[in-house]
Amino acid sequence: MKRALPPRLRAALATMLLAAGTGMLVSVPDASAATGNATGYATQNGGTTGGAGGQTVRATTGTAIHQALCGRASTSTPITIEVTGTVNHANTKKVSGAGCDTADGVIELKKVTNVTLVGVGSGAVFDHVGIHIRESKNIIVQNVTVRNVKKSGSPTSNGGDAIGIERNVRNVWIDHTTLEASGGEPEGFDGLFDLKDNTQYVTLSYSVLRNSGRGGLVGNSESDRSNGYITYHHNRYENIDSRAPLLRGGIAHLYNNHYVRLNDSGINSRAGARAKVDNNYFEDSKDVLGTFYTDQAGYWQVGGNIFDNVTWSAPGSENRPAGPDPKSNTTVAIPYSHALDAASCVPSVVSRTAGANKGLQVSDGRC
C-alpha cells in the first residue's frame, strides 16, 4: 500500500522537478484527480475510464503534457495528467517518444488510449491553444478552460476549434469544461466542440460553451455520416450564433441543457441525423431546433422542453424549423440509464454545476 509523502518532501520534490524546467510533477497519493464516472453514450462500447489505474503526473505547461504522454512505455499505458496554470503557445512544444505523436502549439492526444487530462488546483486554462483528439480511444478531459482558439490571425491552433475530435475515435468523455471564443469566423474562430470522421461514443457534460459563432458540429459535410452516439447533458450554450450543435447523420441525445441567446439557429439536425431532445430549457433564442441551411432533412424526438421567448422563422426549402409547436418525427431508443431534471429546474441546476472550477458538482435532482 502506498503511503503519502510528508509535506516537506512533497514540496522539495516539486521544487526540484520544476526548477529542472520540466514543468511536470510526479504527483503524490493524496493529489486530486478526476472524479465521478462517465455518463451518456461514453458509458457504452466498453465504457470510458481514461487513465484510471495508471500513473498520475502534474503538468504546468503544454510541453509538460506532451512529455507525460511521450514518457509512457507505450501509447496505451494508462496515465492521468493533472494540469494547473496557463498553457499557451510559448510553453507548448512538440515532444517525441514511444507514447505520443505531438506538435507545437496544440495539445495532441493523437493515436493514444487510456488518458485523463484534468485541471486541478486554482485551475487550468488553455489560452489560444486547442485540444486535438485524433485516432484515439478512452479519453477523459475534465475541469479545464479552453479559450480563444483561432484558425486565422495569430496565433493559430487546432483549426480554430477549442476541442476537435476526429478520425476513428471511440469513447471520449468531456466534462466540466468551459469552452469560449470572442466572436465568429470573421474574427478567426471556428467551432468550440467539433466531432468528425468516424467519431463515436462521446459525452459532453456539465460544460459551458459561449460567445462563439459556432457551438460545434458532428460530421464535417453532408456525406460525413459515420459519427454518432453522442450525449450532451447539463451544458450551458450562451451567445452562440449557430451549431448548438449541428448534427449530420448518427444519433444524439440532448437533455437538461440550458440554451441562452442562440442568435440564428440551435440544434440543427440534418442529413439523416436523429436527435432525442429531452427536458431542455431554451431562452431568448431563435430557431432552436430543426433542419437549417440544407435540403437534406434530419429528425427529432422531443419531450419535456421549455421554450421561453423563442422565435421561429417561416419554413422554406432549406429551413425547416421544428416550431412554433415542436412535434416528434422519429423515435430514438436510449441504451443507458439517466435521470432527467425537470426542465423548469435546468437554469438553476446548470448555473451551479456547469463549467470548469465548479468543484465537479453534478445535479442532485433538486432545483
The secondary structure of 25-83, three-state, reads EECCCCCCCCCCCCCHHHHCCCCCCCCCCCEEEEECCHHHHHHHHHCCCCCCCCEEEEE
Q: Is residue 39 part of a domain?
A: yes
pLDDT of residue 341: 98
Distance (Å, whole) CA 130 – CA 354: 20
Q: Is residue 2 part of a domain?
A: no
pLDDT of residue 134: 98
Q: Is residue 3 part of a domain?
A: no
Distance (Å, whole) CA 63 – CA 161: 20
Residue closest to 260 by CA, chosen among 301, 296, 215, 195: 215
168 phi, psi to nearest 5 deg: 55, 50
Domain that holds residue 18: 8-353
Distance (Å, whole) CA 304 – CA 299: 17
For residue 316 the three cell numbers come to 422554406
Strands 319-321 and 113-127: unpaired
Q: Is residue 366 part of a domain?
A: no
Are the C-beta atoms of 201 and 169 separated by less than 8 Å?
A: no
Residue closest to 109 by CA, chosen among 84, 90, 86, 83: 83
Residue partners of 145: CB distance under 8 A and separation at least 6: 119, 123, 124, 125, 126, 177, 178, 179, 180, 356, 357
Query: Of the listed 243, 248, 274, 320, which one is catalytic?
Result: 243
Distance (Å, whole) CA 259 – CA 348: 12
pLDDT of residue 14: 41
Q: How far apart, in Å, are the Cα atoms of 37 and each of 69, 138, 175, 201, 274? A: 22, 13, 10, 15, 26
Domains identified in the chain, total number: 1
Q: Is residue 363 part of a domain?
A: no
Beta bridge partners of 218: 195, 247
CATH number at residue 234: 2.160.20.10
pLDDT of residue 164: 98
Distance (Å, whole) CA 195 – CA 169: 9
For residue 317 the three cell numbers come to 426549402
Q: Is residue 165 part of a domain?
A: yes
For residue 329 the three cell numbers come to 418525427
pLDDT of residue 2: 39
For residue 261 the three cell numbers come to 441567446
Distance (Å, whole) CA 172 – CA 210: 21
Q: Is residue 240 part of a domain?
A: yes
Strands 258-262 and 236-242: parallel
Residue closest to 307 by CA, chosen among 328, 324, 331: 324
Residue closest to 205 by CA, chosen among 339, 57, 327: 339
Distance (Å, whole) CA 127 – CA 7: 31
- Other beta carbons within 10 angstroms of residue 170's beta carbon come to 21
pTM: 0.93
Q: Is residue 153 part of a domain?
A: yes
Which residue ranges in the chain fall short of pLDDT 70?
1-34
Distance (Å, whole) CA 252 – CA 278: 11
For 17-35, write each residue's pLDDT tens digit: 443 455 665 543 333 456 7
Residue 261 annotated among the catalytic residues of the structure: no
